[in-house]
């Protein structure tokens, strides 16, 4: 028996090599490369250099070592075809029975601070994927192992059964092809990102022209073909409902600045499917504000939101937005949580609290709520990286892919269209309400005042009902508030309902055929109105 062991991750290779020597008996030959060979030799394992197999030295700083006919013919030769075996004999080549390989750490490299483009490209493995794919193709005769977790179970099966079953070989081959497919997916995604969002790493190699996503050629960010690699993080207890199975995966399009990429659960029950959806919604809201922000999310919609200099007061204003709906919700905060704030949060029943960090004293306070999940997301303050991750949404038979609805505050240029211009205080509240509105399901209406949401009308089939719902939620507080609408008012009726409740100013995209009627209604009520020219549907 002949085996090739060439791995970057050397976990368990000594035990594996020793097991292969026992399984194959006295005639087992193990060939290896570079650091793997040195590790095996240091452990006293009999191993030969891959150059002894190929009769050719490793060249080009190790770039070429396994790319050789003596390697690939030995892996790919079909044992059931006499002509294949005869060709090996005629050329004095030997069959390879086992390939153990894992690849250069490309993903780990690109996530290191300060890594250069050249360094990243150098970590693209070529010989390894070729050898893995060859062994996986010929899995009926060649055992392929790419994951240290498979070493022990495979050896045990071999020792107990005297062979590795066809079913196990197919399973390992499928795992190997997925491994190389995922590896290639990460590389392609990285190169696309560098072409579109060049960093200091790519300056000087022709990738130094920045451009907004909407101006990029379609093939740069939305190529004709692209793949997403999913890595399972955990099995869920169930999905949206108890009869649905579910799991959580991390994807290659994300990174550290995502819920899945940097989340650390500090305490509480296991996260549910719905918890993760709502926590992600809360994360998206609070990272959209540069000032201290607190949001309370229920069923993927914010029901309370406020910003301010004093975090405790900001939380209290967010809770006051809809204290009834807040029960059993998710709290998102974009600043560290201290013991004082933790004590106030503990007075209300929540499922999850998510923040960049929690002080040790805050954790102690919230530990009394044993089922409360505390989630720390250290990279929560990196909205730029998050905005660059395209959104995938499954539809029957395919996916919709789009860039995220992420518009920096300085790019919002409202135009006054009413006779009365908003006051300074109204304009501040309008811009706050407009940003809040982007996170509410359409049709979305938000009433706000003094940097706090007072009433939300989410997800109604018509805008009039959304206004009525927002006004109802705000109650008497609607008087003196401002209104944001995620899309234009098709008729004046919605604005008239808001005016009757005492709303003093409104912000909306404009663009309706009846804009003149809506503006006239605002003027009649003495309301200030501004248009943004930007719609924020969220379906």
Nearest alpha carbon to residue 148 among 36, 34, 15 = 15
Question: Please, are residues 448 and 429 in contact by the beta-carbon 8 Å criterion?
Answer: yes
Peptide bond into 443 cis (omega under 30): yes
Superfamily name with CATH number, domain 253-384 = AICAR transformylase, duplication domain (3.40.140.20)
Own/partner long-range contacts of 499-504 (Cβ < 8 Å, ≥24 apart): 499/524, 499/525, 499/527, 501/471, 501/474, 502/478, 503/447, 503/471, 503/478, 503/479, 503/527, 504/426, 504/480, 504/528
Distance of CA 461 to the CA centre of its chain: 30
Q: How far apart are CA 453 and CA 83, in angstroms?
A: 77
H or E stretch covering 130: helix 127-137
Question: What gap in Å lies between CA 119 and CA 113, rounded to an integer?
Answer: 12
pLDDT of residue 217: 45
- Which residues in 371-399 are b (16+ Cβ under 10 Å) and which e? ebbbbbbebbebbeebbbbbeeeeeeeee
Query: What is the dihedral sign for C-alpha 183, 261, 108, 381?
Result: positive
What CATH number does the domain located at 410-531 have? 3.40.140.20
* Nearest-10 crossing angle of helices 127-137, 69-76: 20
Q: Which residues of 470-480 are buried (b: 16+ CB within 10 A; e: fewer)?
A: bbebbeebbeb
Q: 55-62 contacts: CB < 8 A, separation 24 or more?
A: 58/33, 58/34, 62/33, 62/34
Residues of the chain with CATH 3.40.50.1380: 2-192
Helix axes 34-42, 13-24, angle to 10 degrees: 80
pLDDT at position 197, please?
60
| pLDDT for the residue numbered 387 | 57
Which positions ≥6 away from 414 have C-beta within 8 Å?
A: 427, 430, 431, 434, 507, 530, 531, 532
In the block, which residue shows the tokens 């995922």?
A: 182
Backbone angles phi, psi at 18, to 5 degrees: -65, -40
Q: What is the pLDDT along the chain (539 residues), one digit of tens a residue?
A: 899 999 999 999 999 999 988 876 667 899 998 889 999 999 999 999 988 888 887 778 777 777 888 889 999 999 888 999 998 889 888 999 999 999 988 888 888 888 888 888 988 989 899 999 999 999 999 999 999 999 999 999 998 898 899 999 999 999 999 999 999 998 988 888 787 665 544 443 334 433 333 444 444 467 778 888 888 888 998 999 999 999 998 886 666 667 777 788 899 988 899 999 999 999 999 988 989 999 999 999 999 999 999 999 999 999 999 999 999 999 999 999 999 999 999 999 999 999 999 999 999 999 999 899 999 988 666 555 555 667 888 899 898 888 888 777 777 889 999 999 999 999 999 999 999 999 999 999 999 999 999 999 999 999 999 999 999 999 999 999 999 999 999 999 999 999 999 999 999 999 999 999 999 999 999 999 999 999 999 88
How crowded is the C-beta side of 138, counted as CA atoms within 13 Å?
23
With beta carbons less than 8 A apart as the criterion, state whether 473 and 501 touch: no
Q: What is the dihedral of CA 499, 501, 507, 510, to 10 degrees?
A: -50
State the catalytic residues: 137, 299
Q: How many Å apart are CA 323 and CA 102, to the nearest integer?
A: 53
Question: In the block, which residue shows the tokens 């993760």?
Answer: 276
Q: Is the pTM above the cut of 0.95?
A: no
Please state whether 488 falls in left (phi above 0), alpha (psi between -120 and 50) or beta.
beta
Residue 422 CB partners (closer than 8 Å, separation 6+): 416, 430, 482, 505, 528, 530
Instruction: Give dist(CA 4, CA 15) in Å, integer.
Output: 15
Q: What is the DSSP string of 136-204?
A: HHTTTTSEEE--GGGHHHHHHHHHHHSS--HHHHHHHHHHHHHHHHHHHHHHHHHHHHHHHS--TTTTT
Pairing of β 98-102 and β 398-402: unpaired
pLDDT at 445: 97
pLDDT of residue 444: 95
Which is it for strands 29-32 and 48-49: parallel, antiparallel or unpaired?
Answer: parallel
Whole-number Å distance between alpha carbons of 418 and 422:
9
As annotated, the residues of the chain forming the CATH 3.40.140.20 domain(s) are 253-384, 410-531
Q: Which CATH architecture has domain 2-192?
A: 3-Layer(aba) Sandwich (3.40)
- Residue 3 pairs with which residues in a beta bridge? 30, 98
Query: What is the Cα–Cα distance from 529 to 430, expressed in whole angstroms?
Result: 9
């Amino acid at each position: 028996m002949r085996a090739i062991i060439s791995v970057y991750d050397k976990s368990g290779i000594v035990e594996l090599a020793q097991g292969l020597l026992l399984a194959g008996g006295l005639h087992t030959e193990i060939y290896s490369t570079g650091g793997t060979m040195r590790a095996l030799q240091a452990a006293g394992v009999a191993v030969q250099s891959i150059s002894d197999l190929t009769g050719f030295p490793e060249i080009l700083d190790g770039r070429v070592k396994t790319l050789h006919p003596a390697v690939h013919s030995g892996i790919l030769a079909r044992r059931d075809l006499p002509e294949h075996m005869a060709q090996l004999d005629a050329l004095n080549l030997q069959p390879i029975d086992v390939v153990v390989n894992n690849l250069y750490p490309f993903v780990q490299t690109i996530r290191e601070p300060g890594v250069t483009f050249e360094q990243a490209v150098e970590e693209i493995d070529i010989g390894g994927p070729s050898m893995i794919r060859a062994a996986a193709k010929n899995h009926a005769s060649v055992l392929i192992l790419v994951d240290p977790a498979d070493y022990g179970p495979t050896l045990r099966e071999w020792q107990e059964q005297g062979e590795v079953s066809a079913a196990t070989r197919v399973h390992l081959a499928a795992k190997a092809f997925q491994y190389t497919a995922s590896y290639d997916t990460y590389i392609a995604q990285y190169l696309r990102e560098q072409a579109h969002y060049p960093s200091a790493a790519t300056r000087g190699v022709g990738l130094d022209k920045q451009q907004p996503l909407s101006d990029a050629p379609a093939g740069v960010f939305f190529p004709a073909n692209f793949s997403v690699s999913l890595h399972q993080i955990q099995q869920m207890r169930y999905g949206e409902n108890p009869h649905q199975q579910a799991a959580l995966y991390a994807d290659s399009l994300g990174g550290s600045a995502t819920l899945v990429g940097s989340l650390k659960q500090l305490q509480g029950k296991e996260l549910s499917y719905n918890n993760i959806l709502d926590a992600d919604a809360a994360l998206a809201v609070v990272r959209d504000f540069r000032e201290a922000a607190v949001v309370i999310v229920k069923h993927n919609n914010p029901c309370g939101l406020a910003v301010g200099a004093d975090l405790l007061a900001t939380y209290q204003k967010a809770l006051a937005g809809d204290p009834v709906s807040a029960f059993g919700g998710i709290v998102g905060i974009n600043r560290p949580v201290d013991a004082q704030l933790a004590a106030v949060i503990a007075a209300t029943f929540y499922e999850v609290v998510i923040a960049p960090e929690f002080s040790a004293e805050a954790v102690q306070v919230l530990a009394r709520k044993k089922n409360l999940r505390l989630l720390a997301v250290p990279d929560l303050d990196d909205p730029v990286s998050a905005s660059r991750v395209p959104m995938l949404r499954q539809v029957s038979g395919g996916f919709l892919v789009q860039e995220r609805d992420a518009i920096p505050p300085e790019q919002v240029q409202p135009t006054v269209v009413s006779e009365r211009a908003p006051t300074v205080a109204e304009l501040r509240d309008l811009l706050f309400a407009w940003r809040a509105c982007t996170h509410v399901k359409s049709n979305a209406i938000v009433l706000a005042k003094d940097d706090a949401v007072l009433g939300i009308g989410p997800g109604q089939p018509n805008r009039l009902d959304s206004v009525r719902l927002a006004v109802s939620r705000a109650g008497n507080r609607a008087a003196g508030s401002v209104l944001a609408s995620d899309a234009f008012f098709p008729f004046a009726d919605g604005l008239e309902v808001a005016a009757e409740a005492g709303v003093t100013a409104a912000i909306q995209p404009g663009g309706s055929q009846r804009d003149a009627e809506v503006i006239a209604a605002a003027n009649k009520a003495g309301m200030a109105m501004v248009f943004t020219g930007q719609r924020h549907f969220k379906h």
